[in-house]
Every structure is written in structure tokens, then in C-alpha cells.
Amino acid sequence: MEELKYDFSKIEKKWQKKYEELKVFESEPDPSKPKFFVTFPFPYMSGPVHLGTAYTLTRLDVIARYKRKRGFNVLFPFAFHWTGTTIAGISDRIRRGDQKTIEILEKMDGVPRDEIERFKDPVYLARYYTEKNRTALKDYGLAIDWRREFHTTSLNAGFSTFVRWQYLKLLEKGYIKKGVHPVVWCPRDKSPTGDHDRLSGEGVFPEKFYLVKFRLEESHLVAATFRPETVFGVTNVWVNPEATYAEAYVDGEKWIVSLETLEKLADQLRSVTKIRELKGRELVGKRVTTVFTGVKVPVLPASFVDPSIGTGIVYSVPAHAPYDYMALEDLKHDESLLREYGLDPEEIRSIKPISMITTEKYGSNPSEKVVKELGIKDQSDPKLEEATSLVYKEEFHKGVTLDNCGRFSNLPVQRAKELVIEEMKNNGAGDEILELPSPVVCRCGTRCRVKILSDQYLLAYSSPEWKAKALKALEMMKIYPKEARENFVYFINWYVDWAFTRTSGLGTPVPWLPDQMIETLSDSTVYMAYYIVSKYVNNGTLKPENLTEEFYDYVMLGKGVPEEIEKKTGVSSELFKKLKHEFDYWYPVDLRISGKDLIANHLTFYIFHHVAIFPEEKWPRQIAVNGFLRIEGQPMHKSKGIFISLRDAIEKYGSDATRITLLLAAEGLEDPNWESEKASRNIELLASIYRQVLSFLEECSSGENSHMEEWLRNSIRKRVKKVTEALEEMEIREATSEAIYGLRNDLRWYLRRVSKPDYKTLREAVETWLNLLYPFTPHLAEELWSKLGNNVLLANYPWPQVVEVDEKPLLIEKYLENLIEDAYQILKATGKTSITRLKIVIAAGWKNEAFKELIRKAKIEPANVREVIDLYASGVSREEIGRFIGQVMKNLPSMSREYKAVLERVLEVGEHKILSEAREFLEKEFKCDVEILDENEIPREEFNKIAGKKPPVQPGRPLLLME
């Protein structure tokens, strides 16, 4: 009994140890076998590997194990990512004593206090997690060749030589250029502020604001706007009377803008010389000249104007901007304010909104309409945001300019906008500034702004040639699931030049800029090639100083003469040639799997860089992506406590149960959902498989049941085919479920059906089952396999052959299943719980003959049905023939092909024979006597009496009489 206990932890450790000892997953080139190189994007070592990572990894592991069994020489290496600012960011936060960070480390990651103290050193942190994660991954049991492991950044000299080479190649081939690049910038830290470094304003990025210059004497009042086309509706210009403004030379022209704007302009590569500062109130009452119309409009005070947004100057279009409308209304009714600024009440009150756009929904004066609809009271009402967005959306998409817009009259708003921008650019009345549409605050508490970095090195993703090459590679590649392909096309086309250098965090220095680092997405694009080299660095054969540009040129691109390079690098040309040989054997990557989130960045970069550096035959072959793991229906979120590390899962559920819980959770791009309850139940499922397999074979006193053995063999063949096909198409959930449940059900049915199972057949079936289970639950399968007395490792045992399935026995079983179902339905309808006798009356011979012929007919029409039936129904009463035709016409036309096949087969063998053979089983099933009769055997009169109003007996559908 002890032996039937499923101790997953013991079993898993046992086999992991065995695989390691036997170096099962350590792969070397073998010319006699086709190779299959699989990779996984190295995880970032800022925390424990979690179940989301495990999900994708498990999918890859399944394929790796499957391919090995299909005779491929599989290479599955692994590495760890250290590059970037996140690790340094955590260290920073700990140094600052950030409680939230410390709490998460302690509670979610289970890091001891004294270790957290040491995390102030980012390198220590990265090492800590690398150690922890390596152990967790090993305990999870993956088919990884660990000899090739490495981590990134300059802290790994070997890896850095490779990245160095990569960037020298990119530079040499013209994929790197210099340019300018706007970023969200913290003036205090003097560095770009990414989402993770922000206290608020996540997801905000620079947007283009248009500047419109209003002449004020020799100077210009420069207003910022998203809607330059509305300049035809200007009635006045707003300033905040309390704010500080400045007059300055901007690129030689005199501008008046808020004081803060000067800094922004300077950050955006404008030459700015301040002349003087002034209060907003000084501007109030002045008159400025509008752009196209040349009208003079007043400058008026408004409290809603924020000097830190845009330029601190807003031009007023009351007809189309709810804010302007409200501010104007407020002013008209505020005597004291008018007096304070010495404004003429009459003049102000005579200002009328100028309509210049119309939409079906809001007409030509939308501000007033929307403000009333929303019940907005004054310019400080927060609902004005909503009002603005309603009007903006409607007018932008469906608006048309009215005929007071000069050359831009009667145009769709979108078109008018383009033309106005172009015109203002030409005549100098307009300009642009990049701005953050909502405030961004750096972790250090400083308000961020946009900065244009000059002299940036950029990856020239905007290059049409590069894009074309990437698209070509994509076309040649297999993408799973196929829906994801469109995503790749979209992102390849969408990318513009990418700034790849950083001044902070960990990484490999830019070869020609030693004080700058290559950022995290850019140093991890072709590193899979380095797995070939890393093995030799790890075992000491190669030293980082050997890994020169010439070295990689030869090994990876076949450039240069080995003997000459030997002199330069100090590496023997023999070793070189060996490495080149290995590289050519393994590369390219046959399959890379990741979460779908990486389509937008990493995987697209992966394609871009491969086509840039490598010749066509080394381009990636297949990419598979999958959804994002959710925990109990929620997206993973460490700070909300929604997080399960791989380590935790292994400890609670073990590797195999964790694996199938993940694998069964989703297919394609869907987000898999982890349910802990399911995982627990899966342990039970595996335990029951464990017990079943062992007990199946124990109690076997062998008996031949011919039909059922045929059935089992063929049903399993069908499963093998299904699992294999699903795996080939990366439909891993389908494969998992078929391998586990499908075969389990087959075996159950077989055992239910026969009184004495056939030992040989059963054993064969069980072995096939274990073979199919291996990619999904390797440890359990291997354990049972060895318990069955097999000496060869299941890991190395060939996958079952996909052979032709003989459907005949399956069709006959289907017939029996239907019959049993019918019987249960009758029991249910009559409310009977037990019966003493079941009489099965099968259809008369002439019906069978007629049916056989009719089934084969493509068209079932009353005329030909009658004709066929008449042919066989000699001596049968007209009434009976009529009833039978009626039934045929009702059922046959809507019969599926599958069911027709069932019938055809059943009639061929004969219902009587099938039922006789199954009698014992039926008697067991219904716990009653079973009698099989032929319709002809019963005298007509008696038959009519017992059949009553029941429909006529139909071939394949016998009459069931229960007593």
C-alpha cells in the first residue's frame, strides 16, 4: 500500500538528479540528427521567477522534450538578465528606506531582513536572485543545458564582448545613426524618468502642442493649443493674472510666455535669452493681432490658465472650447474683476462666440450646449474636462469648418487642421513644442518636463530597408498562434528610431562611448548566438580577452582566416573551427517562446537585429507567444499581493501538478488563469493516475475480448495522432488535455467494458499513455515507466508512431454508447431506478438493407426513398412502409457524416452480433437480464401491443423494452 502513495517531491527530485547525472539535457552537435534549438527570453533578476514566467517556460519545455523524443537533437539553454535600471532602482529605494519596497521584498519575495540590507548593492541583489532563481528553475525540472548559463552586463566580461561585437556590426552596417530624441526628464536627477521612476503620471509621454503667435507690438504672445484650426474662432487671449511671465528672445524672435516655458524651450534645443519678467496682470487689457484674420482681440484674465502647462497663454475660442466659454461668462458677470483690471464691461459683454465648425450632434455652438447639458457652473468646475473632450472628439472626427475660415472653409476638421499647421509653419505664425499632457512627478518629487536629447545614438528602426528586411524575415517565419502575426507586422512598421544608450543602471558600455550603456531591450536581441560560446567561457577554455571582433566575425559570420585570427586572439585555430562548426550546427533559433507582451518590443527587436547582422539562413525560424498569467482571475501585481513565485508553487504543488495546471489554463493569446484550487486538485489527479497505472497491471488475469482490445488500441492510436498534431501546431493545452484525460477515459471505458482485461493490450496502452504524458508530467511519467520495469529512460524513448487508425471498432462502440444513453434517458423519463429485464428489439432485415443503401445516397428525397424501400420491403404492409418512410425522411437528411459512418459499420457487422457480444456488459451495467430480439421474430400482433405508440424500430436504433 505504501507503494501506492504518490510522493511528488521525492519522485521529482529523484528524476531530476538522474537526468543531471546522465547529462540527458546536455547537448552536443550530432550530424546524424536534425537539431532543434529553443530559447526563452532570459528573465530579469530583480525578483523571484514567478508563475507567469513558468507558464511560458513550461510550454517551451514541453516542446523541447517532445522534439527530443521525435529524434531531434534539442538544445535548450538558459541565462539571466541583469541589464537596466530596475535592479539599480530597487537598491536606490532600499537606500532611501522606502518601506513599501522593503515590505514587498520581505512579504512577497521572502527575503530575510539582513539580506535586504545588502540589497543596497545592486550587484549583490542581482546575484542573490540569480542564485535563488537558478535553484528554483532546477527544482522545477526543465530540459535545460545548464552548462551554457550566463548573465548580462559588464559584470560578465564574456557576455559584454559579444554585445560589443554586436554593436560594432550594427554601426558598421549603418543601422545606427545620430539624432535627437525627446524624453520625459527629471531636472533634478538629470536623467530620463521612465514609468517605474514616477510618483505620478504613469504612461504619460511627450505630445506635440502647436504654438500660435499673436502679435503684440514688437513681441509675440505665444499661445499653446491642440487645435490650431480653431484660430478662426478667436475672440480673445487668456493669461493668468497672478502668474509670472517673461519676455525673451527665442531663436532670435521676441516671445512672451510663462517663465516656466522658457526652461522648457531651452530643454527642447531652442536658444532662449530672457529679457525681462512680468506679471500676467500687466498683459491684461492689451490688444493682440490674430493670425489669419488680422483682427485685434483683447488679453483677458482667467484663473483656469496654468502657467506650467503649454506656454501659460491660451487663446480663447468660446464657441468651441467649453473652458473658454465658461471663463468668458464668468468674466462678463464679475463686476469687481472687470473693475480691477480696468476692463470696459460693455466691450467684454459684447464679445460673442465665433462659430467656425459645425457638427450634426452639437451644431455650431457646442460649448454653450454641452456646458448646459452637463450643468457646469463656472470655470473651476472639473466637469469641464469631460465637456472639452466630448466637443473635441466630435468635432475632430465629424466636424466641418464653416465658411468664415478663409482658404480653410468647408473642410473636414482633420484636413483643415493639417492645412492650417502647414500654412502657419510657412508664414512663421506657428511653431511647436513638446509637452506632457498631464503632470509627471519623479520619484524624487520633482516635476518632470520634456527634454530633447541631442547627439543621441539611435537604432534606425525607421529605415525602410531595415523594415523591409524584417518583414521578409517575418514572412519566412512560423508564428504561433497565427493571429499574432499581424501584431508583428504592425510593430515592425510602427517603430521609429530608438535611442539605445543610457547613463544609469547596469549594462554593457557602448563600444565607442565608454561612459554610456546599452539599454536593456537593445542588448538582448541576438544573444542566443552567445550560448554557443558561453559553454567554453564557463569551462575556462575561452577567456574574455580571446573574444575579439575577429573571433566573432569568424565564428558567427565566417569572415577571416582562422590562422590569422589565431595570432591576434591567442585562440587556437582548431578551437575556432570547432566553434564555427558548432555555431553553424545549432544556429538559427528554431523556436522562441514568450508572453505576448514582448511582441511589441523584445521580439520585434529580435527580428530587426537578426536581419541586420546575420545572413538569411540564420534568421529565426519560429516564434510562439502566449497570454499573460492571471492569478485567481486577477492580473499579477506584487504590491497588491497578487503574486505566486515559482518556488512557492513547487513547494505547494510540486513540479508536475504545477506544470499541468499552467498548461491547461489557456491556449493561443488568451490569458491563462491560475487557480490554486485547481492546482491542488491536479495533485489528486496525478496521484490517482499513479495509483491507477500501478493497480491496472497488478490485478490482471488475462482474457481476450478481441473487439475491445481492437477498440482500445485504435482509440489510443487516435489519441496519439491528436496529441502529436496539437504539439506540432503549438496547441499545447489541447495536447495536454488529450494526453491526460483522453487516454485516461479510454482506459476507464475499457475496464468498465470488459470483465477480464487483456494484460498485454493493457500494458501496451499504459506504456503509450506514459510516453504521451512525459512532455507534460515528466517526473510522474518517468517514475511509472521505471516502475513498470523499463530500463531505458522514458526521456530518451521514442515518441509513439502515428499510425493509421482503424475506425471500425470505434464506430461500434459509439453505437453502444448511444444505446446506453437512450436506455438511461428512458429510465429517467419513467422515473424507474431499477429494472429486471431489458429487451432489445432490433430492426427487421429489410429495413437494414434499405437503410444501407439510403445512407450512401447523396440526396435523400421522398421519391428515391420510396423507391429504395419498395425494393426491399416485399410482403410488408403499406402502413408499415409508410411509417418507416416517414421516419427515414425525418432523420436521414440531417444525419452527420460521422453518424452515417457509425450506422454503416454497425449494419455491416450486424446489430445482433454486436449486442450479443456486449450482453454481459449490458447486464452488468443495468443489473438486469438482457434479451436481444429481432423485429421479425415477434408475431406482428404481439409486437404492436408491446410497441404501442412508440416510433417504428430503426436500424441502429433498436426498440428498448424495460420491465
Partner RNA sequence: GCGGAGGUCGCCAAGCCUGGUCAAAGGCGCGAGGCUCAGGACCUCGUCCCGUAGGGGUUCGUGGGUUCAAAUCCCACCCUCCGCACCA
Choosing from 600, 889, 892, 928, the residue that interacts with RNA (CB under 7 A) is 600
**Residues within window 558-597 making contact with RNA, judged by CB under 7 A:** 596-597
Contact flag: residue 960 with RNA (CB under 7 A): yes
CB nearer to RNA: give 260 or 746: 746
In the set 8, 15, 44, 457, which binds RNA (CB under 7 A)?
A: 44
Give the range of 31-39, 297-305, 669-677, 869-877 binding RNA by CB under 7 A.
Answer: 669-677
| 870 is a contact residue toward RNA (CB under 7 A) | no
Among 120, 681, 787, 852, binds RNA (CB under 7 A): 681
Q: What are phi and psi of 567, to 5 degrees?
A: -65, -40
Q: Which of 671, 806, 807, 931 touches RNA by CB under 7 A?
A: 671
Beta carbon nearer to RNA, 73 or 193 = 193
CB 249 within 8 A of CB 272: yes
Per rule CB under 7 A, is residue 908 in the interface with RNA?
A: no
Question: At 297, is the secondary structure helix, strand, or coil?
Answer: strand
Report the 10 Å Cβ neighbour count for 3: 8
* Residue 131 is a binding residue for RNA (CB under 7 A): no
Instruction: Find out whether 241 and 342 touch, Cβ atoms under 8 Å.
Output: no
Q: Counting Cβ atoms within 10 Å, is residue 594 exposed (0-12), middle (13-18) or buried (19+)? A: buried
Three-class DSSP labels, 47-93: CCCEHHHHHHHHHHHHHHHHHHHCCCEEECCCCEECCECHHHHHHHH
Site for RNA contains 629 (CB under 7 A): no
Our finding on whether 437 is near RNA (CB under 7 A) is no
Stretch that binds RNA, among 27-35, 411-419, 911-919, 954-962 (CB under 7 A): 954-962
Stretch that binds RNA, among 108-116, 714-722, 805-813, 816-824 (CB under 7 A): 816-824
Out of 828, 856, 859, 878, the residue judged to bind RNA by CB under 7 A: 828
Q: What dihedral do alpha carbons 190, 193, 196, 199 form, nearest 10°?
A: 90
Which of 773, 763, 764, 778 lies closest to 742, judged by CA?
A: 773
Shortest Å distance, C-beta 362 to RNA: 17
| 3-state DSSP assignment of residue 331 | helix
Interaction residues for RNA, span 81-100 (CB under 7 A): 81, 83-86
CB contact set of 211 (below 8 Å; sequence gap of 6+): 222, 223, 224, 225, 311, 430, 431, 432, 433
Gap between the Cα atoms of 736 and 722, Å rounded: 10
Region from 165-173, 580-588, 616-624, 671-679 binding RNA, contact rule CB under 7 A: 671-679
Helix axes 676-698, 759-773, angle to 10 degrees: 150
Q: Where does residue 142 rank: exposed (0-12), middle (13-18), buried (19+ CB within 10 A)?
A: buried
Q: How far is the CB of 465 from RNA (least distance, A)?
A: 18
Binding mask 157-196 for RNA (x = CB under 7 A): ------------------------x-xx-------xxxxx
Q: Which is nearer to RNA, 57 or 565 (CB)?
A: 57
Is residue 679 near RNA by the rule CB under 7 A? no
Asked if residue 903 binds RNA (CB under 7 A), the reply is yes
Q: Give strand ranges (E) for 638-683.
A: 673-674
Does the protein bind RNA through residue 494 (CB under 7 A)?
yes
Stretch touching RNA by CB under 7 A, among 319-327, 665-673, 699-707, 907-915: 665-673
Q: Which is nearer to RNA, 600 or 876 (CB)?
A: 600
Shortest distance, position 853 Cβ to RNA, whole Å: 17
Q: Which residues in the 507-546 window bind RNA by CB under 7 A?
A: 519-521
Q: Which is nearer to RNA, 465 or 684 (CB)?
A: 684
Displacement of CA 73 from its chain's centroid (Å): 28
Long-range pairs for 763-769: beta carbons < 8 A, 24 or more residues apart: 763/697, 763/788, 764/713, 765/712, 765/713, 765/716, 766/693, 766/696, 766/697, 768/716, 768/720, 768/743, 768/800, 769/693, 769/716, 769/739, 769/743, 769/744
Give the separation between CA 437 and CA 309, rounded to whole angstroms: 8
By CB under 7 A, tell whether 197 contacts RNA. Answer: yes
205 binding RNA? (CB under 7 A): yes
Angle between helical axes of 808-830 and 897-909 (0-180°, round to 10): 100
How many whole angstroms separate alpha carbon 92 and alpha carbon 10?
Answer: 41
Q: Is 292 in the site for RNA (CB under 7 A)?
A: no
User: Counting contacts by CB under 7 A, is residue 956 touching RNA?
Assistant: yes
Cβ 88 vs Cβ 519: under 8 Å: no
In this chain, which of 154, 516, 673, 936 binds RNA, going by CB under 7 A? Answer: 673
> Which range binds RNA by CB under 7 A, 19-27, 354-362, 759-767, 893-901?
893-901
Q: Does 829 bind RNA (CB under 7 A)?
A: yes
Cβ 392 to RNA, closest distance in Å?
Answer: 10
CA-based angle 416:419:422, to the nearest 5? Answer: 150
Answer yes or no whether residue 826 interacts with RNA by CB under 7 A. Answer: yes
| Phi-psi map region of 508: left, alpha, beta (phi>0 left; psi -120 to 50 alpha) | beta
Least separation in angstroms between residue 499's CB and RNA is 4
117/325 Cα distance (integer angstroms) = 57
Closest approach of RNA to the CB of residue 176, in Å: 13
Q: Is 701 left (phi over 0), alpha (psi -120 to 50) or beta?
A: beta
The distance of closest approach from Cβ of residue 89 to RNA in the complex, given in angstroms and rounded to an integer, is 8
> Which one-letter DSSP state was computed for residue 448?
P
Report the residue number, 454 or 572, with the smaller CB distance to RNA: 454
Binding flag, residue 200, RNA (CB under 7 A): no
Q: Which C-beta is closer to RNA: that of 340 or that of 684? A: 684
Q: How far is the CB of 355 from RNA (least distance, A)?
A: 24
Residues 6 or more apart whose Cβ sits within 8 Å of residue 43: 49, 53, 80, 81, 133
Which of these segments, 61-69, 427-435, 673-681, 714-722, binds RNA (CB under 7 A)?
A: 673-681
Q: Binder to RNA among 499, 593, 612, 843 (CB under 7 A)?
A: 499
Q: Which stretch binds RNA (CB under 7 A): 120-128, 361-369, 527-535, 666-674?
A: 666-674
User: Please, which residue, 85 or 161, has the CB nearer to RNA?
Assistant: 85
User: How big is the chain by its Cα radius of gyration, in Å?
Assistant: 39
* Separation CA 90–CA 478 (nearest Å): 38
Distance in Å, CB of 44 to RNA, minimum: 3
Part of the chain binding RNA (CB under 7 A), chosen from 163-171, 218-226, 491-499, 560-568 = 491-499
Interaction of residue 678 with RNA, rule CB under 7 A:
yes
Binding test (CB under 7 A) with RNA, winner from 893, 908, 913, 940: 893
- CA–CA distance, 128 with 48 (Å, rounded to integer): 10
Q: Is the peptide bond before 757 cis (omega within 30 degrees of 0)?
A: no
State the number of binding residues for RNA (CB under 7 A).
Answer: 89
841-860: contacts with RNA (CB under 7 A) = none
Secondary structure of 461-515 in the HEC alphabet?
CCCHHHHHHHHHHHHHCEEECCCHHHHHHHHHHHCCCEECEECCCECCEECCEEE
